[in-house]
Amino acid sequence: MDELSARRMRNVIPVLTEQRNILVGAGLSFAGHLLDLTIMQLRLSLHDISEDELSEFSNRVSLDLVNGTSSDESPVGR
């Protein structure tokens, strides 16, 4: 991604966040959730994080929560 595209994506995140807050404040939580997903997708794209990497991270966090450990304490990945 070129710098201009990245800058545009970074600039739109605060606008979407503001709109999300307005929607949630008006009681439109599902619409707010959809904007949350959009914001997350923009951030993943900006930081070049794949869906597989996100899925692996989510699985790791879930396992740590179930096992009662933090990622720093977990022996996996050492």
Identify whether 16 is part of a domain: yes
Identify whether 77 is part of a domain: no
Q: In this predicted structure, what is the pLDDT of residue 73?
A: 55
Identify whether 62 is part of a domain: yes
Identify whether 9 is part of a domain: yes
Cα 47 to Cα 9, 12, 19, 51, 53, distances in angstroms? 11, 15, 23, 12, 12
Identify whether 52 is part of a domain: yes
Identify whether 26 is part of a domain: yes
Identify whether 46 is part of a domain: yes
- pLDDT confidence bin for 68, thresholds 50/70/90: confident
**Total structural domains in the chain?**
1
pTM given for the model: 0.71
CB 13 within 8 A of CB 42: yes
Q: In this predicted structure, what is the pLDDT of residue 71?
A: 56
pLDDT of 77 > 50? The answer is: no
Counting every residue written for the chain, the total comes to 78
Tens of pLDDT, residues 17-55: 999 999 999 999 999 999 999 999 999 999 999 989 989
Its domain, for residue 30, covers 3-67
C-alpha torsion angle, residues 68, 73, 77, 78 (rounded to 10): -150
Span 59-70, mean pLDDT? 86
Give residue for tokens 């179930």.
66
